[in-house]
Chain A
Amino acid sequence: MKSTNRANLPAAILVLLLLMVWQAAAIGMDAAYILPSPAQVLRRLWELRKPLFCAHLPATMSVVGIGLLISIVLGLALAILMDLSPVAEKALYPLVIASQTIPTTALAPLFVLWFGYSIWSKVLVTVLMTFFPVTITVFDGFRSVRADMKDLMTSFGANPGQIFLKLKLPAVMPYFFSALKMAIPLSIIGAAIGEWLGAQSGLGYFSRRMMTQLDGAGVFAPILLLSAAAMLLVALVNLVERRVIIWRSNM
C-alpha cells in the first residue's frame, strides 16, 4: 500500500498545483457564474448535498448501473458470438465499428421522443457509448488465446465447450477487467449526457438546471460528484481484479 501511495505522489502534487492555478484565476476573474473557484464549488456541493446525494446521484447511478449491465452482457455476447463463428464475425465486426460513427449526442433528443422522460432514453445513450469498448476488448482477448494451448487441449480430447470454459474464459479475464475499467467512465459520461439532453432528475439534469440559473458553482458541483463516482468505481474494480487475477504478470 505504501508504495502505491508514493507512486501517486507526483499526480497528487500536479492536481494540487492545477487547483491552485484555477483558484487564483477564478479570484482574478471574479465572475463566479462563468468560472467558480474550487472553494466555491466545494461550498456549493455542501449546500446542495441533500438534493444531490438523495435524489440526483441515485437517479444517475441507476442509469449507469442498468446501462453498464446491458453493455457488458451485450458486449460479451457479441464477442463470444464473433469468436464462435467466423460468419458472425464477418457480419458483426463492421457493424460494431460503424456503430461508433453514430453521433449519439445528436440523436439523444430523438430517444427522448421515443421513450419520453423515462430512464430508457438515458440507458440507450449509455449503452451506445459503452458496449463498444467491451465488445472490442473482449474479442481481442479471445483472439489472443494461444493456438498451441488450444492444440494441447484438443490433444487431451477436449470438446469446444471444455476449451471455452477451461482455456478461453480464464485467458480472457484480464481483457474483461480492462474493458470494465474503460466502460465505467464512459457509462457515467453517457448517463450524464442523456440526462443533460432530457430528464427530470439526475446529476446531468441538475447541472443543466444550474446553468439556466447562471449558478456556475452549481454547474460544477454535480460534475465533481460524477468524476468522484467514476474514480471510486474504477478503484473498486482494481481491487477485485487484484484478487481474481494473480497471474497477469506472466501472460
Chain B
Amino acid sequence: MLDFEHVVFQYAVEDFNIIDDLSFHVEKGEFVSIIGPSGCGKSTIFRLINRLLQPKSGEIRIAGESIYQKKSPCGYMPQQDLLFPWRTVEENLRLPMEIRGGLSKAEMKEKTEEALKNVGLEAWGKKSPSELSGGMRQRAAFARTLLTGADLLLLDEPFSALDYLTRISMREWLLQQWEREKKTVLFITHDVEEAIYLSGRILVAEQMPITGLTSVSVPLGYPRGIETLKETALLELREQLIRKLRRDAE
C-alpha cells in the first residue's frame, strides 16, 4: 500500500538530512504505528507522504503509484482537530468532498449523514464545532478524514490532546472504525501502550537522523479488549520498546 524507497529529506534551515535513505513498506489493510522520541521526524514522514514537503531523492509510492500522480493520495488527520469554526460539523465533513468535486449536493449530504452516524454524531451535524467535547471533535475530524475517500489514513497523534479516559475509549472506537472501514492506517504516537493496543506492527524510529525504522510485530489478533494488554508477552514487548526508546534518549 505504502512504499518508501531510499527517501532522503533535509529541512532547508538545517545542515543535515533529518531522514536519510529511509525505506519501509506498509501492506494494504495493516494498522501500523510509528513511535520514536520527540522531534525525531515522525511528523516529517507524514508531511512527505501528503506532499507538503518534497524529498531530496528517493521515491514514495501509494498503491504502486508515485504520490505525485494523484490528486490527494491519503487522508491526513493532524493532532489538533482543525475543524473550521465558521462551518457547522456537517459542513466541516463535507469539505474534502467539496474540494475533490464530482459529487452532487444530495450525494454529499447522504455521505455526510452516513459518516456522522458511523462516528455516533448524527445529532450534532448542525452544531458548531465549539459546542462539541474534545472526544467528539476528534471523532468528527476522523469522519472528515474518512470522507477524503483515501484508502491510506495518516493519523498524527490524534488522541494526545484528550484526557486519559476519553483517550482509552477513543482507542477502542478507532479499532472498530478500522475493522469496519478496511482502511490502511499509519498512526503516530509517543504512547507505547497505545501503539501496542492498536497496531499489528510497530515501527520504531531508533536513530536520529532516521535511517531506518525497526519493525516489531505485536503477537495478538483482533478484535482486542483493554484487558488483553495485561498479557505477559505484551508486557515484555512494552519493556522492550521502552528500552529501545530510552537508549536513544541517552
Binding site for B on A (CB under 8 A): 146, 148-149, 151-158, 162, 166-167, 170-171, 173, 245-247, 249-251
Contact = CB atoms under 8 A, between A and B. Distances in A.
Contacts of B75: 155
Contacts of B84: 149, 167, 170
Nearest to B87: A170
Contacts of A171: 86
Nearest to B49: A155
A158 B78 contact: no
Given A148-B82, A247-B85, A156 B128 contact: no
Interface in B38-82: 47, 50-52, 71-72, 74-76, 78, 80, 82
B27 to A, nearest CB: 22
A155 B72 contact: yes
B148 interface: yes
B130 interface: yes
Interface of B: 47, 50-52, 71-72, 74-76, 78, 80, 82, 84-87, 95-96, 98-100, 128-130, 148
A173 B47 CA distance: 29
A166 B95 CA distance: 9
A157 B70 CA distance: 9
A11 B75 CA distance: 53
Contact of A153 (B85, B99, B128, B129): B99
A157 B82 contact: no
B130 A247 contact: yes
10 smallest CB-CB distances across A and B, nearest first, come from A157-B72, A155-B76, A155-B50, A247-B85, A250-B130, A170-B86, A157-B71, A156-B96, A156-B99, A158-B99
Given A148-B78, A156-B96, A157-B100, 5 more contacts: A149-B82, A157-B71, A170-B87, A250-B130, A251-B85
Contact of A247 (B74, B86, B99): B86
B52 A154 contact: yes
Contacts of B52: 151, 154-155
A156 B85 contact: no
Contacts of B82: 146, 148-149, 152
Given A148-B80, A152-B76, A247-B130, A157 B86 contact: no
Nearest to B74: A155
Contacts of A153: 95, 99
Contacts of A154: 50-52
Given A149-B82, A151-B52, A247-B86, A156 B130 contact: no
A173 B50 CA distance: 29
Residue with the highest number of chain A CB atoms closer than 10 Å, among B52, B75, B99, B128 = B99
A5 B12 CA distance: 56
Contacts of A246: 128
A148 B80 CA distance: 9
A249 B128 CA distance: 12
A250 B99 CA distance: 25
A154 B80 CA distance: 16
Contact of A166 (B71, B78, B98, B129): B98
Contacts of B130: 247, 249-250
B71 A152 contact: no
A4 to B, nearest CB: 22
18 contacts: A148-B78, A148-B82, A149-B82, A151-B52, A152-B76, A155-B72, A155-B75, A156-B72, A156-B96, A156-B100, A156-B148, A158-B99, A166-B99, A170-B87, A171-B86, A247-B128, A250-B128, A250-B130
B201 to A, nearest CB: 24
A157 B78 contact: no
Contacts of A245: 86
A114 B74 CA distance: 61
B98 to A, nearest CB: 7
Nearest to A173: B86
Contacts of B87: 170
A149 B83 CA distance: 9
A250 B128 CA distance: 10
A98 to B, nearest CB: 32
B188 to A, nearest CB: 15
Contacts of B71: 157
A154 B75 CA distance: 11
Contacts of B99: 153, 156-158, 162, 166
Contacts of A167: 84
B72 A250 contact: no
Contacts of A162: 98-99
A158 B76 CA distance: 13
A149 B51 CA distance: 15
